[in-house]
Every structure is written in C-alpha cells, then in structure tokens.
Amino acid sequence: MSLTTLSRLRRSPGAAPLVLGHRGARHAAPENTHAAFELSRTEGAHGVELDVRLVKTGEIIVLHDPSLTRVTQQNDRRHVEQLSLADARRVDIGRGERVPLLSEVLDWAALHDQLVNVEVKSDVRRRRDLVRGVIALLAQHPYAARGVWLSSFDPRFVWALARALPQVPCAFLFHTKSPIARAAALVGAATFKRLGARAVHPEHVLVTEARMQAWRSKSELVGTWTVNDEARARELSALGVDFLISDRPGAILRAISTLP
C-alpha cells in the first residue's frame, strides 16, 4: 500500500511528533529558500512549512510577506504581485539566495522524501488566481498525494482547495489574534470537517489538554506552530500533537527525542 500524506503525518502510539522546519531552518538560513529547506533536512526534520504567493506573470513563488522589504533588510520595498518572475528572481533575499518556485521545492521534496506544508497566503490581491494556480500545480504533480498538504487562515481557501484536491489534505490555521481563531479555540473543531479540513494548525499557545480532546474528536490531525522552546515542545508532545513546526528543527528534534 502506498503511503499518503495523512498516513505519514499521523502520529503512531509511543512515537514522538514529527518536526517540520518553519520556512525551513530559518534560525540559520534565509527563510523560504533552498538553503533553509536543505539545512532543515540535514538537521533531521521530516519536512518543511512554506508560504506561497503569485507574481505578476502568474507563477507561484515561495515567500511569506507581500513585499520584499523585510527579506531584503529594507533594500527593496516592491510588492511581489507587481513583479515578473524574472524580476523576483534577480533579488538577493539573503546570502545570495533567490526566491524559489513552489514547483522547484516540490521536486526537491520528492527527491528527498520530505513532507511539505504549503500555506496559501490570504493577504493577496489576486485571490482566485492564487487558489487556481495551486490547484493546477498540485493536480498534476506526482508527489502531491504522497507528501504535500495545504493550509490557510482563510476558511474560504480551505473549502475551495479541499473540494478541488481531495487527494491533498487541507488544514485550517488559526492564532490568538483573530476572532475566528479565538472562537475555534473555545468551541472546538465542529466546523472544520464541513470546511473539508483534515487537520487543524493552532498557534502553540492555544494548545491545551481540553482543546486537544475537542480537536481530536473532529479532526484527523493536530499540528502546531511556531515551537522554538524545548520545554514547550516536550509539553506539546505529551499532549499528543502529531507534528511541530519550528524555526529550530534540529534543536526541537533533540528535545523531544529524550522523552521516555
């Protein structure tokens, strides 16, 4: 039987949670770059989390922010949706690294059997184009059903992606600052399956024993972010989360590997 993304993510009894590099191993490499993803892999991470956006010419790139301001240390303030792919590729986003395409990262992941969590950014202007582009790419990529899952803070994105790509699991992201997140944390995951979500991705400060029970009753998987403290990682492991997303994947792996 071939492995699916869900079967690979699901935590086995007695096993430690999986660990993913948050935008790669961004503690020591420019985030969302090939260097960060490769460092995460060499530190022992089971996969990576990344963010995707569209450039002007329609390609899907890997970048967290809507502009280049932060990743270029204020040297380039252009909005990525105003750039062609060629223009975006010319930009040094740290230590000579360039913005990767999502398709390139998926090819790398398939080569190394790395899991990939693709966050589809919702603070974009061409929302439909981004969702359609992600659907088109994953519908034809051979690794999508074996090692990729999608997530978004926007429930409409989760709904659309889950229906178009039943072979690719979708997760609902939420954090402490959003009203919908606060509601989700309080009432459990009753609406998540109606959205088509197979997993929930709460910010780690929201994870408690009571909430884990509620989420487990309605969702197949629970993964949390961004976990950089070793003691908190051990707490979350004891609470039963399936995977941890961290800027420091190597350190977090070592921390949870010492658990009895």
Q: How far is CA 58 from the centre of its chain?
A: 21
pLDDT at 187 over 50: no
Q: How far is CA 14 from the centre of its chain?
A: 25
Higher pLDDT, 30 or 186: 30
What does the pLDDT look like over 146-178, one tens digit per residue?
999 999 999 899 999 999 999 999 999 988 776
The predicted structure's pLDDT at residue 41 = 99
Q: Are 239 and 209 in contact (CB under 8 A)?
A: yes
pLDDT at 189 over 80: no
The predicted structure's pLDDT at residue 1 = 40
Record the tokens describing residue 75, joined without a space.
């040297």
> What's the Cα-to-Cα distance from 148 to each of 71, 105, 138, 178, 257, rounded to whole Å?
25, 11, 9, 26, 24
Question: Chain-wide mean pLDDT for the chain?
Answer: 93
pLDDT band, very low/low/confident/very high, at 194 (cuts 50, 70, 90): confident
Identity of residue 180: I
The predicted structure's pLDDT at residue 218 = 76
pLDDT at 260 over 80: no
Record the tokens describing residue 111, joined without a space.
């080569």
Q: In 3D, which of 65, 86, 64 has the Cα closest to residue 77?
A: 65
Q: How large is the average pLDDT for residues 64-70?
A: 98
The predicted structure's pLDDT at residue 33 = 99
pTM over 0.85: yes
The predicted structure's pLDDT at residue 179 = 63
CATH 1.10.10.60 fits 5-257, yes or no: no
